[in-house]
Amino acid sequence: MSEIKRMKYCVNGEWKDSKTTKWLPVSDSSTGEIIAEVPCCTQDELEEAIAAAHAAFPAWSLMSLSARTQMMFKWRNILMAHLDELTLLCAKELGKTLNEARGDVLKAIEPTELACATPFISQGSASMQVTTGFDTASYRVPLGVVAGIVPFNFPAMIPWGWMVPLAIATGNTVVLKAASFTPLTSMRIMELFYEEGGFPKGVVNLVTCSRNESEVLLTDPRVKAVTFVGTTEVGKHIYSIAAAHGKRVQAQCEAKNHALVLEDCDLESTVNAIINSTYGCAGMRCMALPVVVVQESIADKFVAKLKEKAMAMKVGCAYNPETNLGPVVNEKHKQSICNWIQKGVDEGAELVLDGRDIVVPGYENGFFVGPTILDHVTDEMSVGTREIFGPVTVIKRVKNFEEGLAVMNANPFANGSVIFTQNGYYARQFELLTDGGMVGINVGIPVPSAYFPFSGNKDSFYGDQHVLGLDGVRFYTRAKTVTKHWYDEHSHKKAMDTWEGTVERI
């Protein structure tokens, strides 16, 4: 067994030993071995991070936009140079395959490239002569300190793609609460941020802690905005508390994305897309397709083909290049997924494929769950409405497009939704009527590029401005509208004479 490394937290560009008595374990998901411990930082240490970000804000926000942009260009190249290193680290601590982990890091780089365009995308507007002699301009200016509260499932993309780039490029400073299950990737990026990026101290600060200690991020008046990704229960809490304290909030929450498969679909490509979407990242992503609503006329054929392809997947060590499906993040999460599978069986679903007892030779202590399929699931079954966050496919059978759409829209979550069909009319009706915020037409994972907002709806999102795109710029800035009027020499002299005459009369 390798030595368990005790990690530090980063404030004002310096790595510090925590005074906590509580340490949180980090595992290699493929072996089950604990490889590090991170501190459950104290409230004083979080306040120290807020103070550092607050102190760094004036100078950073007043730095020229072109200077900040040049630093973002440099930062993008640093991340690319360390792509392989960060990929392996992500695969080890989370369980993503090497290809998936590489995608995680690349999805952090993409928004960094967007942030390089800040001089263009953060422009305001102006009009001359709005009334005689008066001009008005509206600018976008930074908020101050923003807090990012991060989930475990994308340790590179979410903190260093969704949160940091647009926040700092627009002139804000940041306190990141990294995910305690998977903090190592984020911590390594934090090291690079100061060691190679050369950013001013305090622009980004990183802590690890429990929900209790992080409550100060929601109430401290120096924090002006909170961006969060995680469960709906926690998202609702963060939204209500932070908003009550006058902060802006983005709360990206749970999902139960549905795919509608019609009888005229290209069956082979549809199954391939659903395999990739449902079992990619071991189902631990909010844009997975855990529910397939399939037209009854092709349901048996669809399920048979889905099972065949799922059984052909190679389950194994995350950092083995031949692996198709890696482990889940830890033992607790594995048990949660297995409990959900059993609950589905108890509720009356048909267990077509059971991945609970899979064993990977040489990695017997890893946190593996194989592909699982539950058929004949109804809306009354909780397994069909609640997020499992694992490699589990739920099958719901419907008679036609109308019934399928109704089943999908009845779900309280609306992060994404997908239709597989060759019928243009149904595709357009779906695009028009689905509740999903991100919609796919014959696309299994309809995640937009960073130039568009990541736009969940209903219980999948709380807030006004979504993540990334122009929404992201608006979230991290506020409007300042300036109206100007200048006197010419004659009118100025006339105004002064009038003023002096008034003074003499007084």
> What is the β-pairing status of strands 416-420 and 438-441?
parallel
- Select which of 10, 90, 286, 338 is catalytic: 286
- How many Cβ atoms from other residues are within 10 Å of residue 53's Cβ? 27
Locus of tokens 């930082």: 41
DSSP code for 152: S
Largest separation between any pair of C-alpha atoms in the chain: 100
Q: Which two tokens stand for residue 180?
A: 């305690």
CA neighbor of 460 nearest in space, from 411, 417, 413:
413
What does the alpha-carbon distance between residue 428 and residue 411 come to, in Å, rounded to a whole number? 21
DSSP 194-218: HHTT-PPTTSEEEE---HHHHTHHH
Locus of tokens 């002064």: 496
Q: Is the dihedral of CA 493, 494, 498, 504 positive or negative?
A: positive
Q: b/e map of 478-494 (b: 16 or more CB within 10 Å)?
A: eeeeeeeeeeeeeeeee
Provide φ and ψ at 302, rounded to 5°.
-65, -50
Q: Which two tokens stand for residue 252?
A: 């990206």
What does the alpha-carbon distance between residue 62 and residue 54 come to, in Å, rounded to a whole number? 14
- Per the CB < 8 A criterion, the answer to whether 166 and 476 are in contact is yes
CA neighbor of 39 nearest in space, from 1, 5, 90:
5
Residues 6+ apart with CB under 8 A from 499: none
CA angle (28, 34, 286) in 5-degree steps: 45
DSSP-H helix ranges across 82-183: 83-94, 98-115, 118-121, 157, 164-169
Annotated active-site residue 10? The verdict is no
DSSP 61-77: HHS-HHHHHHHHHHHHH
DSSP 360-419: -TT-TTS-----EEEES--TTSGGGTS---SSEEEEEEESSHHHHHHHHHTSSEESEEEE
Provide φ and ψ at 172, rounded to 5°.
-90, 170
Position 212, amino acid: N
DSSP-H helix ranges across 280-423: 296-311, 331-346, 401-409
Q: Which two tokens stand for residue 208?
A: 């690890």
Indicate the SS3 state at residue 489. Answer: helix
What does the alpha-carbon distance between residue 209 and residue 127 come to, in Å, rounded to a whole number? 48
Enumerate the active-site residues: 286
